[in-house]
Amino acid sequence: MTHVPDTAVATGPVLTVDDLGVQVGPVNLVQGVGFTIGSGERLGLIGESGSGKSLTALALMGLLPEGLRASGSIRLRGVPDDLLGTGERRLAKVRGRTVSMVFQEPMTALNPVMRVGDQVAEVMLLHGTRNSRAEAAAAAVDLLDRVRLPDPRAMARAFPHQLSGGQRQRVMLAIALANDPALLICDEPTTALDVTVQAQMLDLIGELAAERNTALLFITHDLAVVATVCQRVLVMYGGRVVETGDVYDVFTTPRHRYTEGLIAASDLSVVDGRGRLRTIPGAVPNGGEFPDGCVFRTRCPAATTRCERTPEWSGPPGHGFACWHPVGEDR
């Protein structure tokens, strides 16, 4: 890997998201999401299914499904314009080059009729980071070796169906890192994998990101994964950020009631009176059906009439929560 990322502008955060929203028609699926990721920093994004994590990631990539719109501001270091409002052509030049993504489902994310090596080489040829097909093919084999696939030369000639799920996810990681992006987005990259290979995959992502000083946005619903991989964490519920801070602080002294519930539900050593694991009561509402005011109030044990108003953000932007009745404060 001889390519050196832009060091000329290597100051300030890699990614700055401000007041990001995702709408379908008049319905807000994500709103008011803001955060920054510094160079080489690893940010975890957690929340239950339906909390808007993946939509946030897809909005960052400019790959929202048809019919969905994003609003707000997304700025990426090295890209002069706001990503939102940038034309598709210029956005395509950023994808796979400055920011890349590993998806949740490795079994279907690769083209079944194209050789693995060609799929890795393609992303380099596309952005011109390798000069010739031969050079890109050699680099692809090298990358497959870096993601610790056995016999990378044979792997490059294989078709995706000849690989296991874990191996395919390694290929996806090789594709994502091929051009040394400034930011790597991982959307539940280990969720579909066997437990036995999850840990290896996490180690690999962490190691390769650290090697290249790649900033990481890591989406998961597994708190243990966040604790292993990330330095900071962003907790989402109902399309909003409800709490953020250093992983250690948030996990040991959560302030938002939702975070508290998530952490309690993750503790497999605690059971209730009937010997059942702790859960958050109720279910995540469908998109657009969250209550106004505090989005969590319909499931919150501490909710009062005050929660019908949207809670203000307490604390500095990178460190705080949005709750009227935070943990540790009496009503």
Partner 1 sequence: MGLYLLVRAAVLVVSTAVASVVVFAVMAVLPGDPAEVALGVNATPEAVAAKRAEFGTDRPLVTQFLDWVSGLPTGDFGVSYVTSDHIGPQIVDRLGVTLWLVLFGMLTALVVAVPLGTAAAVRHRSVGGLLLSGLSQVGVAVPAFLAGILLVFLFAVTLRVLPSGGYTPLGEDPGAWFQQLLLPSLSLGLVQGAVLSRYVRSAVLDVMREDYIRTARAKGLGLYRALWRHGARNAAIPVVTVLGLQLATLLIGAVVVERVFTLPGLGSLLLDGVANRDLLLVQGTVMVLVVAVLAVNFLVDVLYAVLDPRLRGAR
Residues that bind partner 1 (CB under 8 A): 61, 63, 66-67, 88-89, 92-97, 100-101, 103, 105, 108-114, 122-123, 126-127, 159, 161-162, 172, 175
Closer residue to partner 1, CB minimum distance, 101 or 247:
101
- Closest CB to partner 1 among 219 and 295? 219
Smallest distance, partner 1 to C-beta of residue 299, A: 32
| Least distance between partner 1 and beta carbon 267 (Å) | 34
**Closer residue to partner 1, CB minimum distance, 133 or 306:** 133
Look at strands 183-187 and 99-102 and give their pairing. Answer: parallel
Treating both helix axes as pointing N-terminal to C-terminal, what angle do 133-146 and 116-126 enclose, rounded to 10 degrees? Answer: 120
Instruction: Specify the residue, 184 or 208, whose C-beta has the smaller distance to partner 1.
Output: 184
Retrieve residue 31's tokens: 């709103």
In whole angstroms, the minimum distance from the beta carbon of 205 to partner 1 comes to 16
| Nearest distance, CB of residue 308 and partner 1, angstroms | 37
Strand partners, 321: 243, 314
Q: In what order do the strands lie in the sheet with 27-37?
A: 27-37, 15-24, 68-76
Q: How far apart are CB 1 and partner 1 at their closest, in Å?
A: 18
Distances from the Cα of 287 to the Cα of 31, 241, 250, angstroms: 12, 15, 26
Distance from C-alpha of 284 to C-alpha of 289, rounded to nearest angstrom: 9
Helices 165-177 and 116-126: angle between axes, nearest 10 degrees: 20
Q: How far apart are CA 247 and CA 243, in angstroms?
A: 11
For partner 1, the closer CB: 57 or 230: 57
* 235 beta partners: 46, 243
Write out the two tokens for 330: 């009496």
Q: Phi-psi region for residue 174, left (φ > 0), alpha (ψ -120 to 50) or beta? A: alpha
Q: Find the shortest distance in angstroms from Cβ 157 to partner 1.
A: 11
Question: Which residue has 């302030």 as its token pair?
Answer: 255
The DSSP element (H or E) to which 56 belongs, if any, is helix 53-61
121 or 223: CB nearest partner 1: 121
Terminal C-alpha separation, the chain? 57
Q: Which is nearer to partner 1, 114 or 199 (CB)?
A: 114
CB of 159 to partner 1, least distance (A): 4
